[in-house]
Chain A
């Protein structure tokens, strides 16, 4: 218990004092150090630009031995984010067999934001969005931009 919580505390201090570009982090509630609110600004040069996406980062009680999970709370049109009520992000480094206890949350958040700039259609969770991304990029960009406008602008 102790080791994990301290590590989480330290990482929270780190990303609060020195947040990755375009990302703001806070606790959902001070009464629960395991759930973090993430605000992610859509990167420039991406169809998500101008949007602010809310994500929930949930840390397991045995963090850092198990990976955190990252879910979009704002609807987003993206091949690697499940288009359902979970908004699960399919991120390679978050798979339990690829996760390393030395990985850090700041790294996870950076990778997540990079995935908005450069989706990975070969490892997609939404295969049809992936297909569209590859075959008709223009249509994809348009829907992604429309969704950003509709859901990610407060």
Chain B
């Protein structure tokens, strides 16, 4: 604000050189942070090898944003490359891979220049690597890996090596001898309120609030009374004994005095130093990170197996063993055994594993490229940003469980057909390829996971066969912030429908999908069951979710259970991801487990006692509605609905508040021009941040005590201080600017372009009345709207008052055609003042309560409930889902062959577990115990009367206490006899229609009932639901 002629509302969308485009990178910024992204913006990355894995890494790094990306691969493209290389097309065969790929990678992000490294041989002149900060090697012979890695290690260039062979893959990292990780987890900093610190250094967190710290974390203190020496001191390491959630110790506190009261603790992230060894050293003595604890002895074997593959290639002119060829496999085994014999520590080789590695060496699978491509790209980002803990130093992963058992694999069936699926045929054989092509799959969602999924499916040829097809639906249109990870979309696609655009993009990737994708624009839910009807579901082989909300996931899950279709479920949150397989009659379903509920704050805390920035942000978010949404809506209702006052008055509650706000917005505070809006905004500042606080302090002075004698303002209750408006304070001024503009927006007044000078002149002319707390005010209808006129010492007659306000309202017909425009909250529009208002409002309140403030970026994150996202996690998670899809297509019916996955690329952590079996139960029938699958079993009936229904179940030994359908309670044994008598003879279909007051829609073929029943042992038993077929 140095230049007072500056326009206050310069569109923040304008990019200055070197600044981060927040509207593009928004969701990723919440994963990596500004600091890490700045470092990425100064790094040059080289990727060697542009087959499926190389292009996947290139794609993820281009999306993430680095200074430059260089590709190296002079090998001419072959048709088999198209098994996983999604940026190569049939017409590119013969063109050097890097040359054909570079322009398509360049389209992904206009901020990242992509070039091709022109060189015959990379090892002939290693100095050409010196301009890169990171080198990534894929599809590179071991001999070259050794040479390049040595150069990189000596010259401080970060190195990532990754390769996949069929269902096997690995990654290696070397970030140098002195690598510093600034943030090892990426988790938010933990903070909390201190209740007590003992003389032994035992800290107790406030009543029943978990401190959230882990053993070894570091913290600092502020605001402690007694033991003041702890405040702002050097970070102390905490010990958390036995995972105790409410206490921790901080070591020696002698000489610091005695703890009196108060205090906050805040976690401090300490840097971690890692010394990496060179590739040559690590090849001999590998440090292996386990990817799957069910296979803990496999990495050592694969480490030798992968080297044996290179030995084999050296003996065969660079060629890997032929697909499913036994001679080659035997030779491979020999090399592997020779390597094993040289090891210091004995490694037991499983012949089966090494043979499979040999069989699949020429295999090239899209999901494996997706898994390792996501992983490798994330490691590259870690190396240049210092954000998150790297892989140290090897990770091997395989998905041998994905091999089909229902088809025969042989050298004959796995041999190449000179087609784009050769990489997949090499692993699974021709017959399985045909199986894949004839699948009918439904993809729900075409966002981040949806785009990645379609890419994998296109590479696999899923649905391309005569009987196959893909249905995809998404109701959303493309937004700019999507382009950072939904890689099938380009800037020109913004505004287009996601499903259409994604379908078109993957049809271009694999023309075999032409006419094979049914792209829809409907949300899947109860209101679209006429579109996604019974025939639609019956046709499907399976369903894959690519959704971003629990409600839709739950709905699709329920439909899959009902139609007994396998469901693949997955999700990501920043660097975390999970996958789940739901299989009819085998596993539990998505809804069988519950996520912890979303954190909400008690209203009392928000209203008067905030102690965290989250509290003030939630308060500010509701203030946005209180000012700019609710009153304009009430006014519009008043103006358009003649019965509005009567209905509101009848409804009881806060009719006075509503009427007052209509009066204020239509009469007393109605602005005539933008200056009036500035004045209004300034008054709101006074009301919220000065007067309301003064009133609160009048009622609860700083030295007041509770009924038990302890200070009232202590623990979670922080004593507030009123603010004095300061025109030169950016936050104060920012509040007035955003509030004035939003108020103006309500009235269709244009305030944009108003100069700072004008604000200053209007504000300077204002006289703000001094506030004196009113001792008579015992009741305030609303904190936001104190009414100094109301004298309500005892029971008041407000009917008269109401009539008075009502009389002050202009008759609706006097304002014919006049309407206010309520604000519709939109977090991603940087010019609409919504986030600006919330940020200013929240920070001012935080100042009131002496809570550390949050910047606009952080406020937007919390207020907009933004889910952080990055392309790397999405790619990896999608790869894991597709590896499960192979198993479903194979028809595996042993639960042990499937895996649910949990990953966190930041730590990094990989966890796989067998899906949980569906819950089973029993009930005692008249002829003995009956076992039931509580999830997948059901009773199927046709329409009958309630009486017949009850008898039907009595026959089975089940005495029904309650019967419901949807949310209607149709029958309860405690209903009065007269009501029951009426209902017994009704057909169930009529009963549903009568009670729910809605006829059953014609397209609905069946009705679901839930029952509560007792069995022959007179115990409540959990029994499946009842499905009634409608007569058609």
Contacts and interface: CB of A to CB of B under 8 A. Distances in A.
Contact of B1010 (A6, A73, A84, A147): A6
B795 interface: yes
Given A1-B591, A2-B1010, A9-B972, A90 B598 contact: no
Given A85-B651, A86-B653, A32 B967 contact: yes
A128 to B, nearest CB: 6
A132 B602 contact: no
Interface in B814-868: none
Nearest to A146: B795
B570 to A, nearest CB: 21
Contacts, number: 132
A123 to B, nearest CB: 6
Contacts of B554: 1
A10 B781 contact: no
A85 B653 contact: yes
A75 B781 CA distance: 12
Interface residues of B, number: 55
Contact of A129 (B600, B602, B604, B779): B779
B284 to A, nearest CB: 52
Contacts of A153: none
Contacts of B538: none
A9 to B, nearest CB: 4
Contacts of B651: 85
B762 interface: no
B1031 interface: no
Contacts of A87: 653
Given A33-B969, A125-B603, A62 B795 contact: no
B997 A90 contact: no
Contacts of A143: 778, 794-795
B972 A13 contact: yes
Contact of A128 (B208, B699, B964): B699
Contact of B974 (A17, A74, A126, A128): A17
Nearest to A140: B778
Given A1-B558, A30-B968, A150 B700 contact: no
Interface stretch (B74-82, B654-662, B871-879): B654-662
Contacts of B970: 30
Interface string A58-81: 000010011000000111000000
A127 to B, nearest CB: 5
Interface string B758-785: 0000000000000000000111111000
Nearest to B591: A1
A83 B964 contact: no
B968 A127 contact: no
B974 A16 contact: yes
Given A31-B995, A33-B967, A96-B599, A124 B604 contact: yes
B4 interface: no
Contacts of A126: 779
Interface in A115-154: 121-129, 131-132, 134, 139, 142-143, 146-147, 149-150
A125 B653 contact: no
B980 interface: no
Given A34-B967, A97-B599, A128 B604 contact: no
Nearest to A122: B706
A127 B782 contact: no
Interface string B242-253: 000000000000
B594 A125 contact: no
Contact of A95 (B602, B608, B961, B995): B602
A27 interface: yes
B781 A13 contact: no
A52 interface: no
A5 interface: yes
B804 to A, nearest CB: 19
A147 B998 CA distance: 40
Interface residues of A, number: 54
A5 B1010 contact: yes
B1020 interface: yes
B778 A84 contact: no
Given A6-B1022, A96-B600, A143-B794, A13 B964 contact: no
B602 A85 contact: no
A88 interface: yes
B672 interface: no
A134 B707 contact: yes
Interface in B968-986: 968-970, 972-974
B29 to A, nearest CB: 28
A134 B712 CA distance: 12
A16 B794 CA distance: 38
Contacts of A6: 962, 1010, 1012, 1022
Contacts of B11: none
A55 interface: no
Interface string A1-39: 110011001101100110000000001001111100000
Contacts of A31: 967-968, 995-998
Given A90-B603, A125-B607, A143-B795, A12 B972 contact: yes
B962 A13 contact: yes
B997 A127 contact: no
B696 interface: yes
Most chain B beta-carbon neighbours within 10 Å: one of A16, A85, A123, A132? A85
B151 interface: no
Nearest to A75: B652
B696 A127 contact: yes
B916 to A, nearest CB: 15
A53 B148 CA distance: 80
A86 to B, nearest CB: 7
Given A10-B1012, A30-B969, A96-B599, A85 B658 contact: yes
A90 B964 contact: no
A83 B778 contact: no
Given A66-B597, A96-B598, A150-B795, A82 B603 contact: yes
B1025 interface: yes
B997 A9 contact: no
A32 B966 CA distance: 8
Contacts of B591: 1
A82 to B, nearest CB: 7
B887 to A, nearest CB: 28
Contacts of B602: 90, 95
Contact of B652 (A2, A73, A134): A73
A74 B651 CA distance: 10
Contacts of B964: 5, 9, 33
A142 B968 contact: no
A33 B964 CA distance: 9
B780 A128 contact: yes
A39 to B, nearest CB: 16
Contacts of A127: 607-608, 696, 699-700
B1021 to A, nearest CB: 11
**Interface core residue of A31, A66, A126 (most chain B CB under 10 Å):** A31
A140 to B, nearest CB: 9
Nearest to B594: A65
Interface of B: 208, 554, 558, 591, 594, 597-600, 602-604, 607-608, 651-655, 657-658, 696, 699-700, 706-707, 712, 777-782, 793-795, 961-962, 964, 967-970, 972-974, 995-998, 1010, 1012, 1020, 1022, 1025
Given A33-B964, A62-B594, A142-B794, 14 more contacts: A30-B995, A31-B996, A31-B998, A32-B967, A33-B968, A66-B597, A83-B779, A84-B657, A84-B781, A121-B707, A125-B604, A128-B779, A131-B699, A134-B707
Closest 3 CB pairs of A and B: A85-B653, A146-B795, A85-B654
Interface of A: 1-2, 5-6, 9-10, 12-13, 16-17, 27, 30-34, 62, 65-66, 73-75, 82-88, 90, 95-99, 121-129, 131-132, 134, 139, 142-143, 146-147, 149-150
12 contacts: A5-B967, A13-B974, A31-B996, A31-B998, A83-B781, A85-B657, A85-B658, A96-B597, A96-B598, A99-B597, A122-B707, A127-B696
